[in-house]
Amino acid sequence: MSTSESSSSSFAEVRGDLERFCAYQERAQFEVEQRLQKYDLDAEQSDELMVHLISNGFLNEERFARSFARGKFRSNKWGRYKIRQALKLKRVSEVCINAGLSEIDDEEYYRVLTDLLERKAASVKDKNAFTRNRKIANYALQKGFESDLVWDILNSDH
Protein backbone atom coordinates (compact mmCIF):
# COMPACT_ATOMS: atom_id res chain seq x y z
CA MET A 1 0.00 0.00 0.00
CA SER A 2 1.27 3.43 -0.79
CA THR A 3 1.44 6.30 1.66
CA SER A 4 -1.57 7.96 0.05
CA GLU A 5 -3.63 4.82 0.67
CA SER A 6 -2.54 4.56 4.29
CA SER A 7 -4.87 7.25 5.61
CA SER A 8 -7.92 5.58 4.05
CA SER A 9 -6.92 2.00 4.89
CA SER A 10 -9.39 0.05 6.92
CA PHE A 11 -8.31 -1.65 10.11
CA ALA A 12 -8.85 -5.08 8.49
CA GLU A 13 -6.66 -4.15 5.50
CA VAL A 14 -3.87 -3.01 7.80
CA ARG A 15 -4.18 -6.20 9.85
CA GLY A 16 -3.98 -8.28 6.66
CA ASP A 17 -0.95 -6.34 5.45
CA LEU A 18 0.86 -6.82 8.75
CA GLU A 19 -0.04 -10.52 8.85
CA ARG A 20 1.48 -10.97 5.37
CA PHE A 21 4.51 -8.90 6.40
CA CYS A 22 5.14 -11.16 9.40
CA ALA A 23 4.30 -14.41 7.58
CA TYR A 24 6.78 -13.68 4.79
CA GLN A 25 9.74 -13.91 7.18
CA GLU A 26 10.42 -13.65 10.90
CA ARG A 27 10.29 -10.04 12.10
CA ALA A 28 11.40 -8.16 15.18
CA GLN A 29 8.71 -6.28 17.05
CA PHE A 30 10.56 -3.03 16.26
CA GLU A 31 10.32 -3.73 12.50
CA VAL A 32 6.56 -4.21 12.79
CA GLU A 33 6.21 -1.04 14.86
CA GLN A 34 8.08 0.88 12.15
CA ARG A 35 5.78 -0.61 9.51
CA LEU A 36 2.76 0.41 11.60
CA GLN A 37 3.85 4.05 11.53
CA LYS A 38 3.04 4.35 7.83
CA TYR A 39 -0.65 3.90 8.66
CA ASP A 40 -2.82 6.60 10.15
CA LEU A 41 -3.77 4.68 13.29
CA ASP A 42 -4.15 5.86 16.85
CA ALA A 43 -2.14 4.27 19.67
CA GLU A 44 -5.01 2.05 20.78
CA GLN A 45 -5.44 0.55 17.30
CA SER A 46 -1.69 0.03 16.96
CA ASP A 47 -1.55 -1.74 20.32
CA GLU A 48 -4.53 -3.89 19.35
CA LEU A 49 -2.78 -4.93 16.13
CA MET A 50 0.45 -5.79 17.97
CA VAL A 51 -1.50 -7.92 20.48
CA HIS A 52 -3.29 -9.65 17.58
CA LEU A 53 0.00 -10.44 15.81
CA ILE A 54 1.64 -11.77 18.97
CA SER A 55 -1.36 -13.80 20.19
CA ASN A 56 -1.88 -15.40 16.77
CA GLY A 57 1.77 -16.38 16.37
CA PHE A 58 2.64 -13.95 13.58
CA LEU A 59 5.12 -12.16 15.80
CA ASN A 60 7.46 -13.84 18.26
CA GLU A 61 10.64 -12.04 19.31
CA GLU A 62 12.45 -15.14 20.60
CA ARG A 63 11.67 -17.08 17.42
CA PHE A 64 12.96 -14.11 15.40
CA ALA A 65 16.19 -13.92 17.42
CA ARG A 66 16.84 -17.65 17.02
CA SER A 67 16.19 -17.55 13.28
CA PHE A 68 18.27 -14.39 12.82
CA ALA A 69 21.24 -15.79 14.76
CA ARG A 70 21.16 -19.11 12.88
CA GLY A 71 20.92 -17.38 9.51
CA LYS A 72 23.63 -14.80 10.07
CA PHE A 73 26.00 -17.40 11.48
CA ARG A 74 25.45 -20.08 8.84
CA SER A 75 25.04 -17.87 5.77
CA ASN A 76 27.15 -14.81 6.52
CA LYS A 77 29.66 -16.43 8.90
CA TRP A 78 29.05 -13.76 11.54
CA GLY A 79 30.43 -14.16 15.05
CA ARG A 80 28.47 -13.76 18.27
CA TYR A 81 29.44 -10.11 18.83
CA LYS A 82 28.20 -8.98 15.42
CA ILE A 83 24.96 -10.97 15.76
CA ARG A 84 24.39 -9.49 19.24
CA GLN A 85 24.91 -5.94 17.92
CA ALA A 86 22.57 -6.48 14.97
CA LEU A 87 19.85 -7.80 17.28
CA LYS A 88 20.34 -4.83 19.62
CA LEU A 89 19.86 -2.49 16.64
CA LYS A 90 16.52 -4.21 16.08
CA ARG A 91 15.74 -3.56 19.77
CA VAL A 92 15.45 -7.23 20.68
CA SER A 93 15.46 -7.92 24.43
CA GLU A 94 18.59 -9.31 26.08
CA VAL A 95 16.73 -12.51 27.03
CA CYS A 96 15.78 -13.15 23.40
CA ILE A 97 19.28 -12.26 22.19
CA ASN A 98 20.75 -14.85 24.55
CA ALA A 99 18.19 -17.41 23.36
CA GLY A 100 19.14 -16.66 19.77
CA LEU A 101 22.86 -16.99 20.45
CA SER A 102 22.24 -20.32 22.17
CA GLU A 103 21.30 -21.68 18.73
CA ILE A 104 24.98 -21.56 17.74
CA ASP A 105 26.77 -24.80 18.54
CA ASP A 106 30.21 -24.20 20.12
CA GLU A 107 31.95 -26.88 18.04
CA GLU A 108 30.46 -25.56 14.80
CA TYR A 109 31.39 -22.01 15.85
CA TYR A 110 35.02 -23.02 16.41
CA ARG A 111 35.10 -24.92 13.11
CA VAL A 112 33.64 -22.00 11.14
CA LEU A 113 36.12 -19.58 12.71
CA THR A 114 39.04 -21.91 11.95
CA ASP A 115 37.92 -22.27 8.31
CA LEU A 116 37.47 -18.51 8.03
CA LEU A 117 40.98 -17.88 9.38
CA GLU A 118 42.50 -20.48 7.06
CA ARG A 119 40.80 -19.01 3.98
CA LYS A 120 41.89 -15.51 4.93
CA ALA A 121 45.45 -16.71 5.60
CA ALA A 122 45.61 -18.12 2.07
CA SER A 123 44.72 -14.72 0.61
CA VAL A 124 47.07 -12.57 2.74
CA LYS A 125 50.35 -12.08 0.87
CA ASP A 126 52.29 -10.31 3.62
CA LYS A 127 55.59 -12.04 4.51
CA ASN A 128 55.97 -10.51 7.99
CA ALA A 129 54.31 -12.94 10.43
CA PHE A 130 53.15 -10.22 12.84
CA THR A 131 51.53 -8.11 10.10
CA ARG A 132 50.06 -11.20 8.47
CA ASN A 133 48.45 -12.42 11.71
CA ARG A 134 47.16 -8.94 12.50
CA LYS A 135 45.41 -8.74 9.11
CA ILE A 136 43.92 -12.20 9.54
CA ALA A 137 42.77 -11.41 13.09
CA ASN A 138 41.25 -8.07 12.06
CA TYR A 139 39.19 -9.84 9.42
CA ALA A 140 37.76 -12.27 11.99
CA LEU A 141 37.15 -9.46 14.49
CA GLN A 142 35.20 -7.50 11.86
CA LYS A 143 33.05 -10.59 11.37
CA GLY A 144 32.22 -10.44 15.09
CA PHE A 145 34.32 -13.25 16.54
CA GLU A 146 35.83 -12.99 20.02
CA SER A 147 39.44 -11.76 20.05
CA ASP A 148 40.69 -14.31 22.60
CA LEU A 149 39.32 -17.17 20.49
CA VAL A 150 40.76 -15.67 17.28
CA TRP A 151 44.22 -15.25 18.79
CA ASP A 152 44.13 -18.70 20.41
CA ILE A 153 43.53 -20.29 17.01
CA LEU A 154 46.08 -18.07 15.25
CA ASN A 155 48.77 -18.76 17.83
CA SER A 156 48.17 -22.51 17.80
CA ASP A 157 47.84 -23.06 14.03
CA HIS A 158 49.86 -20.40 12.33
Cβ contact 54:27 at 8 Å: no
Give the pLDDT score at 13: 92
Q: Tell which residue, 97, 90, 28, has the closest CA to residue 58.
A: 28
- One domain, residues 47 and 80: no
- One domain, residues 7 and 51: yes
Q: How many domains does the chain have?
A: 3
- One domain, residues 7 and 31: yes
Domain boundary among 39, 55, 71: 55
Q: Which domain holds residue 49?
A: 3-55
- One domain, residues 135 and 121: yes
Give the pLDDT score at 6: 44
Tell me the percentage of the chain whose pLDDT exceeds 90: 87
- One domain, residues 92 and 114: no
- Least confident range from 2-11, 53-62, 119-128: namely 2-11
- One domain, residues 49 and 75: no
